[in-house]
Amino acid sequence: MAVNIVSLADTLAAHVQHLEVNRPKTARAYAEMVARLLAADAGRDAPKAGDVFPPFHLPDDRGGLTSSDELIANGPLVVSLNRGHWCSFCRYELQSLQTIHHTVAARGGGVVAITPERQAFARKLKARCGLDFPVLCDIDNGYALSLALAVWCGDEIKSILTDVNIDLAVFQGNPGWMVPIPATYVVGTDGRIKSAFVNADFRRRTAPDDILSALD
């Protein structure tokens, strides 16, 4: 199944332009946050291709517990760490993963998303994006912290988001206003990372075709 790589990239770029036109203050704050993270080389210590994938044992959107070991035992695994149901960039990426989910399954693999939000909001994310794969809850960003991917939003972003009723303290159940740098990993049945996409510019995401290529 060939997936249009440009489609996701164009969708993300269009959303950036939408923010610049309709919410310039948000667009500017996002750009400043990205510049700050890139200057700090944020995400540089995150796991890379060839590394053993750090295991997790996290609650899912249905209230059960899911481990990376049990998922990888079933076949190669695509793992997407995202910021939450409120993030349009994350929703677009997860919707693109949904388009290849059945292709991944046909190749013996699976897909899982990880968000720092509480169960009710993980369910909302899953429903809003129409996902057929699990959404796990990384409570207090513990797993993202262990991957060196958790970052602070900053006071300006906090103020802008709360002004439009986006309150991460409610969604995550803590007042930290931390989010993960979005990352997508393809993990083999040997437990090693076959490909890793980590970019402190959360407005950019991995292309579906690149994921399928890594599975091959």
Backbone angles phi, psi at 85, to 5 degrees: -65, -20
Question: Rounded to whole angstroms, how far apart are CA atoms 185 and 174?
Answer: 27
Q: Which helix (H) or strand (E) holds 147?
A: none
* SS3 of residue 194 by DSSP: strand
Decide if 33 contacts 157 (C-beta within 8 A): yes
Could you tell me which of 106, 103, 97 has the C-alpha nearest to residue 125?
Answer: 97
Q: What is the DSSP pairing of strand 110-115 with strand 135-137?
A: parallel
Cα-only R_g, the chain: 16
pLDDT at 192: 97
Q: Under DSSP, is residue 178 helix (H, G, I), strand (E, B) or coil?
A: strand
Domain 5-215 in CATH 3.10.180.10? The answer is no
Cβ-count burial 10-22 (b if 16+ within 10 Å, e if not): ebbeebbeebeee
Rounded alpha-carbon distances, angstroms, from residue 193 to 21, 110, 141, 182, 190: 39, 14, 21, 16, 9
Cα–Cα distance, 195 to 210 (Å, whole number): 9
Tokens 């091959």 — which residue? Answer: 216
CA gap 37, 181 in Å, rounded: 9
pLDDT at 63: 86
One digit per residue, the tens of pLDDT, for the chain of length 216 reads 344 444 899 999 999 999 999 999 999 999 999 999 999 999 999 999 999 999 999 999 888 999 999 999 999 999 999 999 999 999 999 999 999 999 999 999 999 999 999 999 999 999 999 999 999 999 999 999 999 999 999 999 999 999 999 999 999 999 999 999 999 999 999 999 999 999 999 999 999 999 999 998
What 3-state DSSP class applies to 207? coil
What local confidence, expressed as pLDDT, does residue 57 receive? 96
CA–chain centroid gap for 216, Å, is 22
Q: Please report the pLDDT score of residue 7 as a whole number.
A: 83
Domain ranges of the chain: 5-215
CA distance 2 to 173: 40
Question: DSSP class of residue 133?
Answer: S
pTM: 0.93
The pLDDT, as a whole number, for residue 62 is 87
**How confident is the model at residue 173, as a pLDDT?**
97
Length of the chain: 216
Burial of 113 (0-12, 13-18, 19+ CB in 10 A): buried
Under a CB-based contact definition with an 8 Å cutoff, are residues 157 and 151 in contact?
no
